[in-house]
């Protein structure tokens, strides 16, 4: 899960500098990772084991130059979850408008879809869904879906919960709105969650190097600090000596 990809130091801990994101792509390419769209997880068995889905939440304008174009260059794919009320505007949840809060335009989104990227919904107004009632949640999901389908002339089947927050009404609303897959921000690989409307994702933070990203891929976890890694390998050695491996 990525967010913004600015050329300057990111103002959000969830965004990452463009040059660091490029390092991530170089690592994936060098190590033969296959990228697919989020919606293609429904047919995961047809893809190799080293398969990853790259997702971008919100739809920041800097993604076009610093993520979309590099992905095309490397013949890779990704999924963008768009907040429809902010298309061509600013991310109001980020506070004072700056270059880093500028959002993708409608034309850019169409170009990305035509180049093979997936466009998914991230609601209309980026609310905390747990603070809305069932009908309000449905309205956010259905209206954003219709706006995007009208924009790109393509069925929208993927959804991401803003802030990763959802409740039972959210699950009901997503299902009613005819989304096939929806993702959270809970860490884990795809097979660790059986509900297709609660797909897990690994969060990429501003300071994550390519090496950190590689460990996150290996362990399907957000916490891959050396303290945790040392503990993991220590336990592996203990289990091996005890004949458990």
Percentage of the residues of the chain whose pLDDT score is greater than 90:
89
SS3 74: coil
**Backbone φ and ψ of 80, nearest 5°:** -110, 125
Spatial distance between the Cα atoms of 2 and 184, rounded to a whole number of angstroms:
13
The β-bridge partners of 183 are 160, 199
Confidence of residue 191 (pLDDT cuts 50, 70, 90): confident
Domains of the chain by start residue, with CATH: 18-241 (3.20.20.370)
pLDDT over 90 (residue 232): no
Q: 13 with 62: CB under 8 angstroms?
A: no
Is the overall model pTM greater than 0.85, yes or no?
yes
pLDDT digits (tens, 9 = 90+) for 206-227: 999 999 999 999 999 999 976 6
pLDDT digits (tens, 9 = 90+) for 113-169: 999 999 999 999 999 999 999 999 999 999 999 999 999 999 999 999 999 999 999
pLDDT, mean of residues 92-101: 96
């Amino acid at each position: 899960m990525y967010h913004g990809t600015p050329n300057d130091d990111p103002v959000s801990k969830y965004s990452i500098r463009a040059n660091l994101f490029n390092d991530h792509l170089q690592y994936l390419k060098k190590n033969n990772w296959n990228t697919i769209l989020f919606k293609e997880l429904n047919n995961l068995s047809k893809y190799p084991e080293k398969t990853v889905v790259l997702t971008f939440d919100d739809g920041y304008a800097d993604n076009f130059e610093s993520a979309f174009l590099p992905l095309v260059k490397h013949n890779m794919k990704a999924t963008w979850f768009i907040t429809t009320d902010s298309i061509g505007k600013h991310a109001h949840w980020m506070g004072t408008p700056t270059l880093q809060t500028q959002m993708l335009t409608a034309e850019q989104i169409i170009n990305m879809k035509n180049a093979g990227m997936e466009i998914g919904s991230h609601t209309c107004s980026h609310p905390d869904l747990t603070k809305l009632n069932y009908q309000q949640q449905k309205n956010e999901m259905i209206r954003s879906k219709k706006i995007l389908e009208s924009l790109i002339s393509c069925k929208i089947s993927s959804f991401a919960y803003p802030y990763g927050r959802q409740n039972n009404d959210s699950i009901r609303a997503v299902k009613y709105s005819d989304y096939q897959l929806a993702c959270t921000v809970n860490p884990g690989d795809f097979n660790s969650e059986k509900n297709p409307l609660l797909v897990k994702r690994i969060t990429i933070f501003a300071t994550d190097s390519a090496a950190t990203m590689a460990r996150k891929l290996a362990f399907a976890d957000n916490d891959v600090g050396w303290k945790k890694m040392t503990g993991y390998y220590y336990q592996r050695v203990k289990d091996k000596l005890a004949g458990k491996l």
